[in-house]
Amino acid sequence: MPHQSFHPPERTLMGPGPSDVNPRVLEALARPTIGHLDPAFVGLMDEMKVLLRYAFQTEYSLTMPVSAPGSAGMETCFVNLVEPGDKVVICQNGVFGGRMKENVERCGGVAVMVEDPWGTAVDPGKTDETLRAHPDAKILAFVHAETSTGAISDAATLAEIARKHDCLTIVDCVTSLGGSPLKVGEWGLDAVYSGTQKCLSCTPGLSPVTFSDRAVEVVKNRKTRVQSWFMDLNLVLGYWGSGAQRAYHHTAPINALYGLHEALVILENEGIENAWQRHDLNHAALRAGIEAMGLSFAVAKADRLPQLNSVMIPEGVDDAAVRASLLQAYNLEIGAGLGPMAGKIWRIGLMGYASNQTNVLFCLGALDAVLSAQHAPIESGVAVEAAMQVYSA
């Protein structure tokens, strides 16, 4: 039997990413491929940089998408800024801080960890103390929005502390970009990476990054060569840099970039403040429904991300069976817990295009039905109504 074309099921994606892709983005992806040195494509690259600066809220000239997923954006920041022997203070309050440690060590650097409990924000006081105890540290790295737990940290304050100690910052903004207030320029963040499949609602596979001039100077004045040829910004700049010769470095993922361009145009049309507000509103409605059901959040209110809702799984409920039911009967994907939170929480994403009233009501209705069928100890039949009250207020 010859193989057939692959037709994926139509899901509603309310997990930790990828999120539902805007149909306008899918349509853009299907446009004809042109050469990556075609003048029309070069024009698109220039627009892309302008649109990304808007999304990041910065004027940094080195702003571009790395041609690979968020993890490659993370690696781009570390391999370019960390040289063998460099000391990096890393704040860890979830999965992704652990990956930062891996990156530093693989670059030959020394990682000093500041650990906070999963589900809480990074503690600025502890970070300050650690930097004081390590005056030779070169970089402070932290995650703005921890997707593994649903906690947001105060990036502005952490960046201020880093500057006080003469450190550059590397900041993971994969889940915050487009979903929560992020002001790279105003806050003076130095090396920032993100992803396309969370609150930008584009397909996975690209990683927008932005670097301050201070960070670029550090990269240009390295004593050793960047150990990754592909990610060496000194080379990538010949392709993406301002006034660059557009020298061939690698073939840009042309159609993927059409998609990202469309996603960024959509964000600009909506207005970034409006996008942040929309994420807040839909979170408030989901929260009202979840709490009316008698369920609770894993993260304290002050530290909660609107785009990633960690809900405690009630005692005696079969985590995997609930998620399987949601997927099979409702075509609805929500996320499982990771690491120490596996089996303890569900992660309900309200990211980008997926952050809308229809999805909130649909998810609450489906969760109510599936949990009731499992005889879970919840208040049934009130969640949708509670969410509706938020929308009509």
What is the nearest approach in angstroms of ligand PLP to the Cβ of residue 352?
13
What is the nearest approach in angstroms of ligand PLP to the Cβ of residue 321?
26
Among residues 309, 308, 289, 291, the alpha carbon closest in space to that of 199 is found at 308
What is the nearest approach in angstroms of ligand PLP to the Cβ of residue 175?
4
What is the nearest approach in angstroms of ligand PLP to the Cβ of residue 300?
19
Binding mask 11-40 for ligand PLP (x = CB under 6 A): ------x-----------------------
β-partners of residue 168 are 139
* Residue nearest ligand PLP by beta-carbon distance: 70
SS (H, E, C) 239-260: HHCCCCCCCCCCCCCHHHHHHH
What is the nearest approach in angstroms of ligand PLP to the Cβ of residue 69?
3
Distances in Å between the alpha carbon of 393 and those of 222, 286, 387?
Answer: 56, 14, 10
Among residues 92, 101, 90, 89, the alpha carbon closest in space to that of 135 is found at 89
Which residue's CB is nearer to ligand PLP, number 92 or number 325? 92
Which residue's CB is nearer to ligand PLP, number 147 or number 325? 147
What is the nearest approach in angstroms of ligand PLP to the Cβ of residue 94?
8
Instruction: Restricting to residues 75-104, name those near ligand PLP by CB under 6 A.
Output: 96
Which residue's CB is nearer to ligand PLP, number 119 or number 195? 195
DSSP string of 5-62, one letter each residue: -------EEESSSSPPPPHHHHHHHTSPP--TTSHHHHHHHHHHHHHHHHHHT---SE
Which residue's CB is nearer to ligand PLP, number 78 or number 96? 96
Instruction: Restricting to residues 147-206, name those near ligand PLP by CB under 6 A.
Output: 147, 172, 174-175, 195, 204
What is the nearest approach in angstroms of ligand PLP to the Cβ of residue 231?
14
* Whole-number Å distance between alpha carbons of 162 and 168: 7
Residue range at the interface with ligand PLP (CB under 6 A); choices 50-58, 64-72, 110-118, 309-317 = 64-72
69 binding ligand PLP? (CB under 6 A) = yes
What is the nearest approach in angstroms of ligand PLP to the Cβ of residue 91?
13
Residue range at the interface with ligand PLP (CB under 6 A); choices 68-76, 270-278, 288-296, 372-380 = 68-76
Which residue's CB is nearer to ligand PLP, number 53 or number 144? 144
* Whole-number Å distance between alpha carbons of 274 and 280: 10
What is the nearest approach in angstroms of ligand PLP to the Cβ of residue 280?
19
CB atoms within 10 A of CB 375: 9
143 binding ligand PLP? (CB under 6 A) = yes
The SS3 assignment for 376 reads coil
119 binding ligand PLP? (CB under 6 A) = no
* Whole-number Å distance between alpha carbons of 213 and 269: 29
* Whole-number Å distance between alpha carbons of 7 and 169: 43
CB atoms within 10 A of CB 54: 14
Which residue's CB is nearer to ligand PLP, number 196 or number 282? 196
52 binding ligand PLP? (CB under 6 A) = no
Total residues binding ligand PLP (CB under 6 A): 12
Please report, as a single letter, which amino acid is at residue 164.
K
* Whole-number Å distance between alpha carbons of 241 and 296: 47
Angle 269-186-148 (CA atoms, 0-180°, nearest 5)?
75
Which residue's CB is nearer to ligand PLP, number 299 or number 364? 299
Which residue's CB is nearer to ligand PLP, number 69 or number 181? 69
What is the nearest approach in angstroms of ligand PLP to the Cβ of residue 70?
2
List alpha helices for the chain, DSSP H. Answer: 23-29, 39-56, 70-81, 95-106, 124-133, 155-164, 184-187, 213-220, 233-240, 254-270, 272-292, 319-330, 357-373, 383-392
Contact residues for ligand PLP, defined by CB under 6 A: 17, 69-71, 96, 143, 147, 172, 174-175, 195, 204
